[in-house]
């Protein structure tokens, strides 16, 4: 991750520079003593993570975050604990209170790296999924590669039982595993072949071929149950009623 220090205190800059040098996943792109200086650098360089002090001349760290359109991941560094709530309202990753220990710094950075890697995985998945073709769907040839931790997993469409959308993640349930990803449920709806998959709830997509029974608004898939909402029920039943039997 390309990172940037924004702090008007030289000792604080030097401490963070020393800490950053110990983390192989971080690449320091510069240290700025003001928000204005940082804004100019952000326009020129790709910055993934900023270490942002709050009390600075001209613009505070809080004011600076509010005016940024494309915010990098942000870890706040300050001597004032009363700003913590404002920082979290702006979706900062963590809030480090000075003097900052390396242990606390490492914990915050690990969280940032994990989020960054998850975001990158999501982008890779979306690129791969674009090769799917609903009209020329061949179940033996269709699959996606998903990075999970440090592994890249091949997931065949025919092995997927259902997909569940959660708050921050989407979970893919297969016959023998559960895979978490940041790709949205809506994106899966757009990409997956409609001959095999159906949206049955705002939080669920099911593999039609894996359904064993429908009881009211509950869909049974193996030993699991997936809820079907009223708003999707009519379209779903039309989709599976190929012979006018329902």
Question: How far is Cα 23 from Cα 4, in angstroms, rounded to an integer?
Answer: 14
Instruction: State what percent of residues in the chain have pLDDT above 70.
Output: 82
DSSP-derived secondary structure for 65-83:
HHH-SSPPEEEEEES-GGG
CATH architecture for the domain at 2-125:
3-Layer(aba) Sandwich (3.40)
Q: Whole-model pTM?
A: 0.51
Instruction: State what percent of residues in the chain have pLDDT above 90.
Output: 39
Q: Where are the domains of the chain?
A: 2-125, 135-240
Question: How far is Cα 220 from Cα 212, in angstroms, rounded to an integer?
Answer: 6
Q: What is the DSSP letter of 43?
A: H
The β-bridge partners of 143 are 156
CATH topology of domain 135-240: OB fold (Dihydrolipoamide Acetyltransferase, E2P) (2.40.50)
Mean per-residue pLDDT, 208-216? 93
Please answer whether residues 148 and 118 qualify as being in contact, where contact means their C-beta atoms are separated by less than 8 angstroms: no
For residue range 67-111, list pLDDT tens digits in order: 888 789 999 998 876 655 555 556 788 889 989 999 999 999 998
Sheet of 224-227: strands edge to edge? 213-215, 218-221, 224-227
């Amino acid at each position: 991750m390309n990172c940037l220090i924004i702090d008007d205190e030289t000792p604080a800059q030097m401490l963070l520079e020393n800490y950053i040098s110990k983390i192989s996943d971080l690449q320091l792109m510069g240290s700025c003593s003001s928000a204005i200086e940082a804004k100019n650098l952000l326009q020129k360089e790709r910055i993934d993570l900023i270490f942002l002090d709050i009390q600075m001349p001209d613009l505070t760290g809080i004011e600076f975050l509010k005016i940024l359109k494309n915010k990098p991941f942000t870890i706040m560094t300050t001597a004032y604990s009363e700003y913590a709530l404002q920082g979290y309202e702006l979706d900062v990753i963590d809030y480090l209170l000075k003097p900052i220990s390396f242990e606390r710094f490492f914990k915050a950075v690990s969280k940032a790296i994990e989020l960054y890697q998850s975001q990158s995985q999501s982008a890779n998945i979306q690129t791969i999924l674009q090769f799917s073709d609903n009209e020329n769907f061949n179940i033996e040839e269709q699959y996606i590669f998903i990075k999970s931790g440090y592994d890249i997993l091949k997931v065949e469409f025919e092995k997927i039982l259902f997909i569940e959308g959660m708050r921050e993640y989407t979970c893919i349930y297969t016959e023998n595993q559960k895979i978490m990803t940041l790709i949205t449920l809506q994106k899966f709806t757009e990409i997956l072949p409609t001959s095999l998959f159906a949206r049955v709830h705002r939080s669920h997509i099911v593999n039609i071929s894996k359904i064993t029974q429908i009881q009211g608004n509950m869909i049974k898939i193996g030993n699991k149950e997936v809820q079907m909402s009223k708003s999707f029920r009519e379209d779903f039943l039309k989709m599976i009623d190929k012979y006018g039997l329902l």
